[in-house]
Amino acid sequence: MAMTTENRSAKDRILDAANQLFYGEGIRAVSVDAIAARAGVTKKTLYYHFKSKDDLIEAYLASRDQPNLALFKKWFDEAEGLLAGKVEAIFSNLSTSARHPRWKGCGFLRTAAELANMPGHPAMKVGAGHKKKFEAWLCEEFRARGAEGPEELARHIVLLMDGAFSTVLVHRDPDYILSAGRAASQMVARATQSTG
């Protein structure tokens, strides 16, 4: 049986509201009052579960970490063919996602941009951790398949992906993600020429 809004916990409703509003409008543009109203709770209830807006921002990013990583792994695993095609499939799926009207880019990068003057903010640590987990996972996949220089290769793929995220936000053209995916595929193919 699916959970309705009424029988979900107040904390879950607050976090859902924060996800919708922070991702859709940006963390600085959204007030705690707006999140409480969207969640259908009082501000006092919100502060019972999250001691500050900063804690809520941190929880918002933390809630996106594992689902995003799991989605990348799913796209990778479902892609047929060699390693280069599997990596390109991640970019292809991201390009499809970027064509949705509600797509606003990478929530981790957008939050980092808004908090650029606050490097010690807990959300910055969550975002950096997420990016490092993705890079480490790629490195493991590359190493397991005998790719040359797996650490550097993983870092290059992360740079291509984050560059594509940023460029799409500037130009509003998801084809940039496809171009980055082709570049990533070529890099991986070169690094795995002897292994396939």
Give the residue extent of every domain in the chain.
Answer: 9-51, 64-191
What is the pTM for the complete model shown? 0.91
d(CA 40, CA 32) in angstroms, rounded, equals 12
Note the pLDDT of residue 152.
Answer: 98
Note the pLDDT of residue 11.
Answer: 97
In CATH terms, 64-191 corresponds, of 1.10.357.10, 3.60.20.10, 3.30.470.10, 1.10.8.50, to 1.10.357.10
DSSP assignment of 131-170 equals HHHHHHHHHHHHHHTT-SSHHHHHHHHHHHHHHHHHHHHH
Q: What backbone phi and psi angles, to 5 degrees, belong to 8?
A: -85, 150
Task: Give residue for tokens 């259908």.
Answer: 40
Note the pLDDT of residue 3.
Answer: 47
Token pair recorded at residue 122: 């807990």
- CATH fold match for the domains 9-51 and 64-191: no
pLDDT at 4 over 90: no
Residue 194: pLDDT band with limits 50, 70, 90: low
Just give the CATH number of 9-51: 1.10.10.60
DSSP assignment of the chain equals -PPPTTTS-HHHHHHHHHHHHHHHH-TTT--HHHHHHHHT--HHHHHHH-SSHHHHHHHHHHHHHHHHHHHHHHHHHH--SSHHHHHHHHHHHHHHHHTSTT--S-HHHHHHHHTTT-TT-HHHHHHHHHHHHHHHHHHHHHHHTT-SSHHHHHHHHHHHHHHHHHHHHHH--THHHHHHHHHHHHHHHHHTTTT-
Note the pLDDT of residue 6.
Answer: 55
Token pair recorded at residue 95: 């390009």
Note the pLDDT of residue 177.
Answer: 98
Token pair recorded at residue 92: 């292809």
Note the pLDDT of residue 135.
Answer: 98
Note the pLDDT of residue 8.
Answer: 87
Question: What are the tens digits of pLDDT across the range 162-185?
Answer: 999 999 999 999 999 999 999 999
Note the pLDDT of residue 1.
Answer: 40
Question: What are the tens digits of pLDDT across the range 109-131?
Answer: 999 999 999 999 999 999 999 99
Average pLDDT for 152-162: 98
Note the pLDDT of residue 119.
Answer: 92
pLDDT at 36 over 50: yes
